[in-house]
Every structure is written in structure tokens, then in C-alpha cells.
Amino acid sequence: MSLMQIPLISVWLSNAGMLIDELRRANLAKLVEEAGGVGKLADRLERDPSQVSQWLNASKNSGTGRPRGMRSDTCRFIESRMGKPSGWLDTDHSAQPKESDWPFPRLDQTRYDMLTPGQKAAIEDWVISQVNAFQSTVAVDRDHLA
């Protein structure tokens, strides 16, 4: 690899202007908050809290002097333990709708996000049929009122 290729590869590994390690740290911080702290997240991951802190704070590796990052297999493990879909740590969630935009407050959106595209399509079809049925009922009720 030439030095001229490094900036190009950095762009490929970025997401919304954020390098992949920065994005993973930002998302790990969300998981820390969701779990209730570094210690509780570490317990759920069955890892030492110091290791989670090193990932979160990009502590320098004593051997290389570079900030510690999370390898892809580590990310997939964390996602699995936290009930997130594969690739969740590598995705910019800042542009996604807020929870208040989620139309089903009694259903955890994370559980829905873990479904296959086919399952999601079946649910969408069912919701459409229910909305259509309720709209038909409303139209019939209005006809009786007139």
C-alpha cells in the first residue's frame, strides 16, 4: 500500500465523517449508558471493566502507542450480548429517528430491528391491513351518523 492510498482507505472506513474507531466508541458509550455504567456493561459482556474503559477512552496500547480500538469480531460479540443487530456498533445512529418517533411505544424497537427483512415486511403488511380495516369502520360509522 502506498502512502497515497491511506487517505482514500480512511474515507472508506469512515461513516458520516467519523472514523470507524470513533464511531464504535460513540456507540459503545450509548451501550454504557443503556447498561447503567461501565461496570454493568462489563458484567453483561463478561469482561473486565478496565478493558471496556480502555475501548471507550481509546487508551493507548503500551506496545504500539496507538489508541486501542475494537476489532470487528469484538464488536459483533458486544452487539450479540447487548441484543443489537450485527453491524450496530459500525452504524451512525445520530441521524436515526428518536425513540419518540417510533410509533409503537410498548414494543422495544431494538427487538423489531433484529427481525429479518421478510418478517418486517409481513408486519408492515399486517399493519396496513389493520389501518385499512379501521378506516373502513370509521367510514361506515360516519355513514350511520348522517
Q: Does residue 45 form part of some domain?
A: yes
Share of the chain above pLDDT 70, in %: 77
- Predicted pLDDT at 14: 44
Q: Which of 29-43, 45-59, 105-119 has the lowest mean pLDDT?
A: 105-119
Q: Does residue 108 form part of some domain?
A: no
List alpha helices for the chain, DSSP H.
Answer: 6-12, 20-35, 38-45, 49-57, 72-81, 109-113, 117-145
Which of 110-123 are b and which e, b meaning 16 or more Cβ less than 10 Å from the residue's Cβ?
eeeeeeeeeeeeee
If you average pLDDT over residues 35-43, what whole number do you get?
95
CATH number for 32: 1.10.260
Most confident of the following: 72-81, 100-109, 129-138:
72-81
Q: Does residue 53 form part of some domain?
A: yes
Q: Does residue 106 form part of some domain?
A: no
* C-alpha 31, offset from chain centre: 9
* Of 14 and 40, more confident: 40
Any residues with CB less than 8 A from the CB of 113 and at least 6 apart, and which?
84, 85
- Measure the CA–CA gap between 88 and 39, rounded to whole angstroms: 21
Tell me which residue range forms the domain holding 12: 6-97
Any residues with CB less than 8 A from the CB of 104 and at least 6 apart, and which?
112
Q: Does residue 66 form part of some domain?
A: yes
Of 115, 113, 71, which is closest to residue 93 (Cα–Cα)? 113
Q: Does residue 138 form part of some domain?
A: no
Q: Does residue 104 form part of some domain?
A: no
Q: Does residue 23 form part of some domain?
A: yes
- Predicted pLDDT at 95: 67
- Predicted pLDDT at 80: 93
pLDDT digits 0-9 by tens, 41-67: 999 999 999 999 999 998 888 888 888
Q: Any idea what DSSP says for residue 99?
A: G
If you average pLDDT over residues 118-141, what whole number do you get?
84
Count of structural domains within the chain: 1
Q: How big is the chain by its Cα radius of gyration, in Å?
A: 22
